[in-house]
Amino acid sequence: MEKMPEKEEEWKKKLSAEQFAVLRQKKTEAPFTGRLLHEKRNGKYICAGCGSELFSSETKFDSGTGWPSFSNPENTAKIEIVEDYTEGMRRKEAICKKCKGHLGHVFDDGSAEMGGKRYCVNSCALKFRNKEDA
**How confident is the model at residue 102, as a pLDDT?**
97
- Cα 71 to chain centroid, rounded: 12
Q: If 0-12 CB within 10 Å is exposed, 13-18 middle and 19+ buried, where does residue 125 land?
A: buried
pTM over 0.75, yes/no: yes
- The reply to whether 82 falls in a domain is yes
- Please give the Cα distance from 109 to 123 (Å, whole number): 20
State the catalytic residues.
120
Q: What is the mean pLDDT of residues 89-110?
A: 95
Structural domain boundaries enclosing 100: 8-130
Contacts of 115 (CB under 8 A, 6+ apart): 71, 72
Q: List pLDDT tens digits, range 4-54.
A: 898 999 999 999 999 999 999 999 999 999 999 999 999 999 999 999 999
**How confident is the model at residue 134, as a pLDDT?**
54
- The reply to whether 2 falls in a domain is no
CB 103 within 8 A of CB 95: yes
- The reply to whether 3 falls in a domain is no
